[in-house]
Amino acid sequence: MNVIHILLQNFAKFLQDTGASANTARNYLADINVFFRYLSDKQQPVSFLTLDSLLSSSSQNNYHHYLLDHFPTATVKRRISSLNKFSQFVKNSHLVTPVTPISSFQSPASVSSSLPSPLPPISHSKSNSPFLYALFVLLIISVSIMSGYFASRFSKSSIIGLVDPSAATIYSQPR
């Protein structure tokens, strides 16, 4: 079963659980199918790993522009509403990080002015925990290596350690 089928089945169950009528659910599912066909035409694979970027504000704005170019205003409004409902479902299901919904119908000029800049701002508030964990691991490895080295240097009976080639004696065994 592919990801789109799983998402649509779960979305249909979500709509049923929230009390949407059969016609409303059918329209929502048809509109989300149009969105997935749009992604397929753009050769953007749909998976649980890519779902976050596919439902990002910039991706939704690109889809909105596509709809404005190809469909009447009423259809665009309904499909954007369906996509916002689907985004809400995905967010509430914790499949991705929160998605900012597109506001109701906007003119093409106002949509282009609300598009994000090409490069996102750099966030300096990211967690340092992966860095700290890597630093901790490196510290443990360094301490292990150093203690092995010192043990070999100061202990005559150490079985672990470095061998000093100048002090090595070759023993010959009797035949």
Contact call for residues 161 and 152 (beta carbons, < 8 A): yes
- Tokens for 57? 């504000």
Q: Answer with the residue of higher pLDDT: 24 or 95.
A: 24
The dihedral over CA atoms of 4, 8, 11, 13, expressed in degrees to the nearest 10, equals -130
Q: Are 115 and 61 in contact (CB under 8 A)?
A: yes
Residue 121 token pair: 């701002």
* Cα 52 from Cα 131, distance rounded (Å): 24
Contact 158, 151 (CB under 8 A): yes
Q: What would the mean pLDDT of 113-142 be, rounded to a whole number?
A: 65
Q: How far apart are CA 139 and CA 174, in angstroms?
A: 47
pLDDT tens-digit map of 23-82? 988 999 999 888 888 888 877 777 667 777 777 788 888 888 889 998 899 999 999 998
